[in-house]
Each structure stands twice: as C-alpha cells, then as structure tokens.
Structure 1
Amino acid sequence: MHRIFQKFIDCLSSASNSDALRDAMSQAAAELDLSCFAYLSVPDQTGGQAGLISNYPSAWTTHYLQRHYERFDPVIIQALRHPEPFEWGLGIGSLAPPKSQELFEEAARFGIRYGFTIPIHNDSGSVAAVTFAADERRPQFERTISEHARVLQLMAMYFHAHARRSIGSSQPFAGASLSPREAECLEWAAQGKSAWEVGTILGISRHTVATYLENAKTKLGVRTIVQAVARATASKLIRQQPHPLSHLP
C-alpha cells in the first residue's frame, strides 16, 4: 500500500493539468481494484459550476453536469451534511427520497451502482467529495474500502489540494504563507511525529509545537493536520515528505 501511495503522491506533484491528475488517481485506484473514481468540487453559495475530474463514462458525466444533478444527487447531499465517509448504492440503506433514488437507477445504466464517498470539508463546510465506484458490490472492492479507508481519505485530501489549482477555487488560501517554524512543525507532523516528538527534535515545548500547528491550520483554512499537510504540500509551502503513512495502521 505504501508503494502505491507514494507513487500516487509523486504523480500528483508532477501533474500540470486536470488530465494528469485524473490519470494519477485512475492508476492508483486500478492498483487497489477500485474501478473508477470521481472528484466533484461543490459550487459555493455565490453559484457557479461544479468542477469534475473523473474517469466515469463521459456520457454519464456530461449528462450529469448539463442537468446540474449535483443539486439533488443524494450522495452529494449526504456529503454536504456529514464529514464522515460512507457507502452508497441501490439497495444500501435509505440515502434519499424516492425522486433522488431515480438518479441511482439512472447512474446504474452507465455501470455505476455502488460506491464509497469521502466528503472534504473545511471551516466553511463541504467543498468537495471523492467517490470510488463500481458496477456492483465486489468482494475485493469492499475489502479495499474496509482495509484502507484511512489511506483513501488521505489520498482524497491530497487530490483535492492539487485539484484546486487545476479547476479553480474562490476560497482564499492560495496566498497563505507559513512561518519557518510552522512549516518545520508541519513537515515533521507529516511524518507521523507527535507534538511531543516534534518538540523534542526542535528543542521546544509540546505546547509551542501545538500552537504552531494550530496557526498553520488556521492560515490554510483547514480542520486537521492531514488536510494542512496536503494543502501545504500542493502549494509548495512545505517539502514533500517521503513517509506520510508511517503513522497509519
């Protein structure tokens, strides 16, 4: 898993456009037996178009965007309301009212019947979602979701951080700058070091490290250290770290 993740990060770092980003995620997903994916950035309250990077069938994505299905897609509605990843599909729970269930049935005609969606939120709410989907509930697909859910979340956050540069964003973090100490603490945190460990390495207190990390999160407009690392790396505010999974099970 570590090899797949590191290759994915390397491909993201060299990607210069949305097509290259799509190829990076497509390749990583295929190696994990996840047949297809979609990244959808949600328009803010001022309106605008949804941004999509995906290897779904183009006939479906064109149909979806032209009809603004993101406005009543039960998967996107769930992602807007709750930050936790979730599974969805025909016959799985009751994710939406009957009218929205029709969208599931329509997607199924394009081979999209089951999926795992990772909402991406910041301080202002939901901003995007990454979905891995399949034409049916395959044992290997479910096994990958079960065993690697945390890593898939991390991949989604890194992808989002890079995708913002390709499809644009009205949210103000592109101009953020980190102090040398904030960047240094974030770089060590990216390698799985605790605040106490970072403090020991840098010769400062755990409380001071925590303060630097909180400042970094505030400047980058995120809630978690993982999100901060993803955004700072994508914006080249910190160096790319070689072992971002060292602290994950």
Structure 2
Amino acid sequence: MNAQGKQNKFALSIVQRLHACKTQLDILRLLREITADFGYQHFFVVNGPTTAAPCFSEAIVITSAPSEMVQTHEARTSAASNPLASILQKIGAPFEFRLDGSNVDTPADFRLFAEGVFSNDDLDCAFIVPVYHPDHGPAAVFFLGKRLPIGMEDTAILSLYAHLLHQKLRQVSAKPAKPGSPLTERERECLVWTSVGKTSVEIAKILNLSEHTVNHYLNNAARKFDAVNRTQAVAHGLRLGYID
C-alpha cells in the first residue's frame, strides 16, 4: 500500500473510532493518539474567555498537558488571562505558531503563553484550530510540540479531526449518567479522570473546580461504594458499569 493509501486508511479508522466514542475518556485517548501521530506532545480543548471563566485554567475542557504547564503560564500573567482570547476574536482559520518568530502576526497574549511554557518542555510550535458550538460559543483545539512546520495537507486533515472531536466531546459530555447509578454526574466525572491517573489538582483544572471540591466528590463516591479509598471506588465503578 502506498503512502496515500495508508493515510486514507488511517483517516477512515479515526472517523470510525470517533463515532464509537462514548465518554470523555474515549475522546482523551483518541486525541492523544492523533496528537502523537502528527508529531505533537500535548493537546488542549479550551473555551473562549467568559465572565464565568476568564482565565486559561478555568476555560480548559480537556487536555493531556501536565498541570504545571498551565500553572507556569498563570504565574507569569494576570489572573484573567486567556492566551486564546485574541485568536478567537480575530482569527477564524487554523493557525500555526512557531517560537522562532517566523509568523509575525501571532497575537501577543498567545506569544507570551508560548514563550512561558515552551522553554520548560522543549517545545517550539503550536497548531490552533478555532471551533464553535452553538451552546458554548467560540473555542479552540490546539496542539503543542516540537516538529517541522505543518504542511497544507496535514493542516486540512488535523483541522477536520479537531472539529469532529470537539463536536463529539460536547455530545458525550452532555450524556446523563447510567440509570440506577448512585453517582452524581460530577462524582462520575471525577472517578473517570481518576481511573486514567489524573490527580485531584489536574481533575480540578479539567473540570473547572477547586481541588477541595474534587476531593469532596471523590470521597462521596467512595462512601457510596463503601470503598476505603478512591482507587477502590474506581474499581467498584468499573465493575458495576457506572464508569467506563
């Protein structure tokens, strides 16, 4: 099979697997794979700034990046800073940022974000795809890494994946918990993220909650399952089908 045939087969596989995604965890796994396949290290799905969530950490919907990356940015900027603000206001097309300064039109707030986090993680570029949802407004899916400039074909393919994944993420996030589950939706979400190794601090960033609130939900879930800790609560939730 030639290179074009392999690429078409990969694209078909991604679309088929996307349709099969049922949870945020499924989306996380698929996004991680796509991120690596395109030569990037981390991805973010981030809402545009709002009055309720003006800063970057509060706007994050889902990410594979370590919490320290976001903390590094917010330690350098004002509390209400969201590096995607200018991009979502002014740029409607996919946008590549490179730390070498080859793209002079990069908004200042995103450049500040990049300069702050890239040096600590040996990164040199970002690819940002503005997306939109009628219930949530402007958002973006973006990828951070260290790779050669992205070509036109990869730009088109990765942009399509970003739009489809964002739409699917919103769909699965809106689904109610399994009937009969003793867990609230927040308790279920916290257990799901715990099951993939996220700490309370990281879960708090993902779900726009305080660390104290995340611990409260996890303790409630453990109590409902008569579990001695969150690890045992995850095991009970998986066995009973309340988390997946």
Q: TM-score, normalised by structure 2?
A: 0.54
Counterpart residue number, 1:53 = 62
Pick which of 39-48 and 101-110 moved more.
Answer: 39-48
**Closer, same or farther: CA 34–103 of 1 in aligned 2, 3 Å:** closer
Residues 85, 117 of structure 1: 8 Å contact kept? yes
Paired with 1:36 and 1:29, the residues of 2 have a C-alpha distance of 7
- Contact (CA 8 Å) 2:97, 2:125: kept in 1 or not? yes
When the two chains are superposed, the root-mean-square deviation of aligned CA atoms in Å is 3.4
Cα distance, 1:71–1:153 mapped onto 2, change above 3 Å:
farther
Q: Is the 8 A contact 1:75 1:88 kept in 2?
A: no
- Counterpart amino acid of 2:106? L
- Taking structure 1 as reference, are residues 47 and 31 closer, same or farther at Cα in structure 2, changes over 3 Å only? closer
Give 1:65 shift. Answer: 7.7
C-alpha change, 1:100 and 1:163, in structure 2 (3 Å) is: closer
- How far off its partner does 1:5 sit? 1.9
One of 110, 115, 126 as aligned partner of 1:105: 115
Partner of 2:226 in structure 1?
A: none
Deviates more, 1:67-76 or 1:19-28: 67-76
TM-score of the two chains, using structure 1 as the length reference: 0.53
Q: Decide which of 33, 45, 54 is 1:27's aligned counterpart.
A: 33
2:159 to 148, 153, 167: 153
Cα 1:131/1:68, change in 2 over 3 Å:
same
State how far apart, in whole Å, the 1-side matches of 2:87 and 2:79 are: 11
Q: 1:153 to 1:96 in 2, by over 3 A?
A: closer
Structure 1 position 162, deviation (Å): 1.1
Q: Using the TM superposition, give the Cα deviation of residue 63 of structure 1 relative to its aligned residue in structure 2, in angstroms.
A: 5.5
Flag the 1:102–1:45 CA change in 2: closer, same or farther, 3 A: closer
Q: For residue 16 of structure 1, what is the amino acid of its counterpart?
A: K
Post-superposition offset of 1:32: 3.0
Q: Is the 8 A contact 1:39 1:52 kept in 2?
A: yes
Percentage of pairs with the same residue: 18
Cα distance in structure 2, aligned partners of 1:124 and 1:51: 16
Distance in 2, Cα, partners of 1:79 & 1:41: 9
Q: Whole-Å Cα distance in 1 between the matches of residues 140 and 117 of structure 2?
A: 17
Highest relative contact order (Cα 8 Å, sep 6+), 1 or 2? 2
Any stretches of 5+ residues in structure 1 without a counterpart? 170-249
Please report how far the alpha carbon of residue 83 of structure 1 lies from its aligned counterpart in structure 2 after TM superposition.
Answer: 0.9
Residue in 1 that maps onto 2:42: 36
Identify the residue that residue 231 of structure 2 maps to in structure 1: none
Q: How many equivalent residue pairs?
A: 163
* Compared CA separation, residues 110 and 154, structure 1 to 2 (3 A): same
Separation of aligned partners in 2, 1:64 and 1:14: 35
Q: Partners of 2:167 and 2:30 in 1: how far apart?
A: 14
Which residue number corresponds to residue 92 of structure 2?
83
Question: Which residue of 97, 110, 131 corresponds with 2:142?
Answer: 131
Counterpart CA distance in 2 for 1:158 and 1:77 is 23
State the AA in 2 paired with 1:102: L
Task: Look up the SS of the partner of 1:129 in the other structure.
Answer: strand
Would the aligned equivalents of 1:38 and 1:55 in 2 still touch at CA under 8 Å?
Answer: yes
Which secondary structure state, in structure 1, belongs to the residue aligned with residue 61 of structure 2? strand
Contact 1:22 1:53 in 2 (8 A): yes
Give ranges in structure 2 of 5+ residues lacking alignment. Answer: 1-6, 176-244
Q: Is the 8 A contact 2:48 2:84 kept in 1?
A: no
Secondary structure of the equivalent of 1:35? strand
